Structure 1
């Protein structure tokens, strides 16, 4: 399972050389970034190209993350701070590379360096993700991290403004849907405590390290919010997309101790998350045929209340 990106940063912003985010432009940033810290990028493997370009170096146990959003410096500073704090808590998570001042800005892109936790990509199980989230949600973050409050509709409005290469009809439909969902969201009665969340909690962000231990990765979405937000992607992936089996989902619920789908507000929360995922693809419609096709397909499914079972992860 590949993590479906749900980050709504404006990947179309122009900042230095960061006008397009492609494999070629990311490779150029990788080469320059590695040269500044005396690392060799030769033979680096591209693991993901979504909200970030993620490379695993072949010459050192290091993972390099290059953010799509040129304006992500502050959020990546927080991610580095979160990683260092989680290490002091002995929490199983990805670790930043020590001895390197980061994040850095290379060719207008924000770059961070991380310890490589595994030699071959292996995801954790859903029950292990649930255990990680349950443990995470018990932690009390220090004020020094400066975590923001999670505002889903700030991301939605940003995503709508950043839509690129989509039809006026689709844009109008999504704007109207966003406004309808905002009203529904404002009326929700959350039942889980408010506090620290991962922000993009799904099986694609839970890996197994060399010792077989499940760890959390992609820490730049950490925020303060209702904990339901850290459960909705797993429920959505099972319920609407069919990306998890019933047994896998039930193991997640059993280990976390709460079934989000039994909460009356689940359909609204799922609709909001689904919209955020779709808007993220819409930002790439003008530059990626694959993204444009999937975006159009998702919009039609939302418009007609059609099946989501054939949605493809990105």
Structure 2
């Protein structure tokens, strides 16, 4: 696990991390802030990455650690949770914040569509875990909170988006039969499936792991071509060839596509409330899904 964006840490986060390190038996040393947002990421001495969740996320953090160890047991390359010394267990919870510790990844790049397809095919083939329970996929999670938290939305936008959530929730609950349910990553794009210098694809960000339709993971790459033209037809054809299934031919594709586009629009709309630099992109995305900018592909800019 790693990060790229460096900001000045808050005093609260550094003190919280210092306390968590003491409880975990991990050296604090000269902690380096990598990213501060919904999750705050630090690099510690010895190739250790510490991740501080937002308050109230202890269950999610515990799931990430459990999933990481399950994937390791199945020989699947993913970020590895650190084995803490003594009797310490992850996550370490300090003042309501779950802190987890991970092995730092070597330098890496985003996965190509072909590499993402190979990783997803292997992931979806792993039998669901028996030693713990993964919750069912919930693709509408936090959408309502994002809509209410996006202060730059107009009243008309907010009304339309609320109705869209209700409509897509109903459509998702009536999906037609598709591929057999499996463990799914939940946010399977090239930035969460990275490649190390030795050519190994490594899965990152395990917080949305669940049991659900594998098509949900496939849609993320499909819409890069059909909705935004971020990848070529040839690259998408390679993705389909390697995975062995074209999700765009499934009758449930449009429902999952529409949900993913809605999530992407609402994320940027919420970011625009914090950073004026996002406002133009947020406006473009909301107008697109409202049908005001013509047919796909839409001119969205990737929000990395």
TM-based fold match above 0.5: yes
1:149 equivalent to 2:136? Answer yes
Q: What's the secondary structure of 1:204's corresponding residue?
A: coil
Q: CA deviation at 1:62?
A: 1.6
CA distance in 1, matches of 2:33, 2:128: 34
- How much is the aligned-residue C-alpha RMSD, in angstroms? 2.7
CA distance in 2, matches of 1:162, 1:144: 37
1:90 equivalent to 2:78? Answer no
Q: TM-score, normalised to structure 2's length?
A: 0.84
CA pair 154-61 structure 1, distance change in 2 beyond 3 A: closer
Maintained 8 Å contact 1:117/1:210: no
1:255 equivalent to 2:242? Answer yes
Q: Deviations over 1:3-41 (max 9, x none)?
A: 9xxxxxxxxxxxxxxxxxx85338535455445543345
Higher relative contact order (CA 8 A, sep 6+): 1
CA distance in 2, matches of 1:32, 1:136: 36
1:44 match: 32
1:138 match: 125
Q: CA deviation at 1:218?
A: 0.9
CA distance in 1, matches of 2:57, 2:232: 35
CA pair 284-107 structure 1, distance change in 2 beyond 3 A: farther
CA distance in 2, matches of 1:49, 1:165: 22
CA distance in 2, matches of 1:52, 1:130: 27
Q: 1:179 aligns with which of 166, 173, 185?
A: 166
- Where structure 2 has 5 or more consecutive residues not aligned to the other structure, the ranges are none
Maintained 8 Å contact 1:278/1:299: yes
CA pair 171-147 structure 1, distance change in 2 beyond 3 A: same
Matches within 5 A, 1:148-297: 148-209=135-196, 211-297=198-284
1:73 match: 58
Q: Deviations over 1:41-79 (max 9, x none)?
A: 536251x5555333444x321222232x32221011011
1:128 equivalent to 2:115? Answer yes
Q: What's the secondary structure of 1:143's corresponding residue?
A: coil
Return 96-105 or 232-241, whichever deviates more.
96-105
2:46 match: 60
CA distance in 2, matches of 1:55, 1:250: 38
Q: CA deviation at 1:94?
A: 1.1
Q: Deviations over 1:192-212 (max 9, x none)?
A: 111211111111111223533
CA distance in 2, matches of 1:23, 1:234: 34
CA pair 222-144 structure 1, distance change in 2 beyond 3 A: same
Maintained 8 Å contact 1:166/1:285: no
Q: CA deviation at 1:114?
A: 0.8
Structure 1 consecutive aligned stretches of length 4 or more whose deviation exceeds 6 Å: none
Q: What's the secondary structure of 2:26's corresponding residue?
A: coil
CA pair 49-232 structure 1, distance change in 2 beyond 3 A: farther
Return 265-274 or 242-251, whichever deviates more.
242-251
CA distance in 1, matches of 2:93, 2:113: 35
Q: CA deviation at 1:230?
A: 0.8
CA distance in 1, matches of 2:28, 2:8: 18
What is the count of residue pairs matched by the alignment? Answer: 290
CA distance in 2, matches of 1:112, 1:290: 31
